[in-house]
Structure 1
Amino acid sequence: MMTTFRIATVNIHQFRPPNDYKKNITSLVSVLKPLQLDLLAVEEINNDDYWRRLCESLDLNNFITGKCDEWFLSNGIASRYPILSYSNHVYKASGEARAFLQCQLAGNHSFVQNRSFAVTHLDHMNEDTRLAQINYFQPNIDILMGDMNALTKDDYSEEYYQKEVVLVREKSQWEKPRFDLTDLITRQWGYQDAFRLANSELKDESVATCAYGTRIDYIYLRPRENDPWKLTKCSIVDSEKATDHNIVFAEFTREQS
């Protein structure tokens, strides 16, 4: 007998599709519902009726929000299982405030026992700012999710990297590509990049999670010794323009004797 636990993260983009200010819950539900999620971590929401309707439509009736400040949007976590405890941490030094929402779940599902979850949305302009934010949060979390606004070098062939990453950023006068943040999380802190773990060969446009053809949304796992739960799937799911990001989806499986 196989038991599963399914999670996803996505930048909701204030419940509006790209270039359209209409609220768009129906489209989000249509792409998220088939995933049969046990937990959803989101960015760019408010603690309002739109968030509640999305959670309830997905049968994720336990949900929380973590606000950044009065002016910036919140992160959220919705769960099929009760939320045992949670906390929200806010960092603001320069630019917009950013938040880090973490929780532990209750219930009888063995995956959630003594396992912590967190979501964050880091700065979209500057790698040094992102590094300051993540270092302030100092995640000590089993599963870290969110829109990191950060790149991973192994995601791109050299041709794609030069044409679709370097050149695009030069033309738009954005910061030059850097990989400090993802290197910090994986190489120094020892987290595993779930998508890379499950898809070692995929590159270029097939890994994109945002409109600019790059992967900036992640699910990170902290390895646990003798963990009976194994990552069996991690994929990027097309949001079908329900939002300006694609969904990162992961499935864990435990074989029962």
Structure 2
Amino acid sequence: MNLSRSNLKQVSINLPDNEISLANSKILGSLDDKNGNEKFSSSRSILEVLREIDADVVALQDVKAEEEKCMKPLSDLASALGMKYVFAESWAPEYGNAILSKWPIKKNVIKATIDVPWAGEINLHSTQLDHLDENWRMKQVNAIIRSNDPPHILAGGLNSLYRADYSSQRWTDIVKYYEKLGKPRPMTEVMNYMKSKDYDDAKDYAGECEPIVIIAKGQNVQGTCKYGTRVDYILGSSNSPYKFVPGSYSVISSKGTSDHHIVKVDIMKVNTSTQNNVIKQCRKLKRKVVKIAPPCSATGVWELTPPPKLLVQ
């Protein structure tokens, strides 16, 4: 990686105090070794987490990327990972959304069109919806959907819950907990709306859960935030040729780097005539997934090892 010899300008992921800077020992820094070459020093850095996961496409939300005085934190991170990136301002001032990709990104908007060499284009949207007001979140997600007709993958913090994830008692406990914290009541309109639009939920293709990310009693899915609820999603639009690989969805701990965990899934591209057979064949494998294996082979499926990995933090 080619790092500037000046200190890294802060890049904040989610909370302002979770920053990438030279001064913070928990995160990414730049140091000179005895030969004058720059190297990384970190106990638990965003860079290390992303390198370990080795995703092909990364969607980041709540990224604060002030690029001034020759300091380029987001581009430095992308360079260290060997990835291209796009950044777009979000609904909140000073923060935005970023997409990093191992492959060329053809368009730089909130939506990125990624050109996968052997499979063609993937349309990926990265977003972080308002964290307080469900009505405003509905306006935001409607704007995203209206402006994006082609098949796409939507990844990000929707900050809305899906009622089917929780039992009645668990839901009651969540409501009381939010009230105790002074947080707005948890809402479900956004996810109900996405389901009504036939978006495919990557969670339905779950593999083996990482033990450190526990599932609270009374819910059937791992939480993605510090409150134990699922607010981060990877969704596929209806009639999309991009399908989630059965057994590949997982929630990975990002403790020490973010207040949200990492959501990860593999995707494959199939022809309409073969997609149902491919999914059925994959499900017949009934294998536990720790390290994601290639999807089962069939006509119209990407032939690659491993398949593209998509994650959102």
TM-score by length of 2: 0.64
Matches within 5 A, 1:2-17: 12-13=13-14, 16-17=17-18
1:103 aligns with 2:126: no
Which residue does the alignment assign to 1:34? Answer: 52
1:67 to 85, 89, 92: 89
1:170 to 147, 161, 179: 179
Count of residue pairs brought into register by the alignment = 227
Greater shift, 121-130 or 63-72, is seen at 63-72
Which residue does the alignment assign to 2:81? Answer: 58
**1:130–1:38: structure 2 CA closer, same or farther, 3 Å change rule?**
same
**Structure whose residues are more often strand by fraction:** 1
8 Å CA contact 1:157–1:203 kept in 2: the answer is no
Which structure's relative contact order is higher, taking Cα pairs within 8 Å and 6+ residues apart?
1
* Cα offsets for 1:209-235 (capped at 9, x unmatched): 11111110110012447x485523011
1:24 aligns with 2:24: no
Matches within 5 A, 1:218-237: 218-224=233-239, 227=241, 230-232=244-246, 233-237=248-252
Q: Determine the C-alpha separation between the residues in 2 that align with 1:14 and 1:53.
A: 20
* Cα offsets for 1:151-205 (capped at 9, x unmatched): 1112223332222x1111121233222211001112x211011013336999537
Greater shift, 233-242 or 172-181, is seen at 172-181
**1:170–1:75: structure 2 CA closer, same or farther, 3 Å change rule?**
same
Q: Determine the C-alpha separation between the residues in 2 that align with 1:133 and 1:59.
A: 32
Deviation at 1:137, TM superposition (A): 2.0
Greater shift, 119-128 or 129-138, is seen at 129-138
What amino acid does structure 1 have at the position aligned with 2:184?
E
| Structure 1 unmatched runs, 5+ | 1-10, 88-100
Higher-Rg member (1/2): 2
**1:161–1:200: structure 2 CA closer, same or farther, 3 Å change rule?**
farther
Matches within 5 A, 1:132-171: 132-138=139-145, 139-140=148-149, 141-163=151-173, 165-171=174-180
Which residue does the alignment assign to 1:96? Answer: none
Deviation at 1:256, TM superposition (A): 6.0
Which residue does the alignment assign to 1:93? Answer: none
Q: Give the 4+ runs in structure 1 shifted more than 4 A.
A: 199-203, 227-230
Which residue does the alignment assign to 1:213? Answer: 228
Secondary structure (helix, strand or coil) at the match of 1:84 reads coil
Deviation at 1:31, TM superposition (A): 1.8
Secondary structure (helix, strand or coil) at the match of 1:63 reads strand
2:98 to 56, 76, 99: 76
What amino acid does structure 2 have at the position aligned with 1:45?
V
8 Å CA contact 1:150–1:179 kept in 2: the answer is yes
Q: What percent identity do the matched residue pairs reach?
A: 23
Which residue does the alignment assign to 1:255? Answer: 297
What amino acid does structure 2 have at the position aligned with 1:204?
A
**1:199–1:161: structure 2 CA closer, same or farther, 3 Å change rule?**
farther
8 Å CA contact 1:16–1:243 kept in 2: the answer is no
Matches within 5 A, 1:169-208: 169-186=178-195, 188-198=196-206, 204=216, 207-208=222-223
Deviation at 1:55, TM superposition (A): 1.6
**Structure whose residues are more often helix by fraction:** 1
* Cα offsets for 1:225-251 (capped at 9, x unmatched): 7x4855230110000221111000111
| Structure 2 unmatched runs, 5+ | 1-11, 29-41, 268-294, 300-313
Q: Determine the C-alpha separation between the residues in 2 that align with 1:168 and 1:46.
A: 29
Q: Determine the C-alpha separation between the residues in 1 that align with 2:242 and 2:259.
A: 35
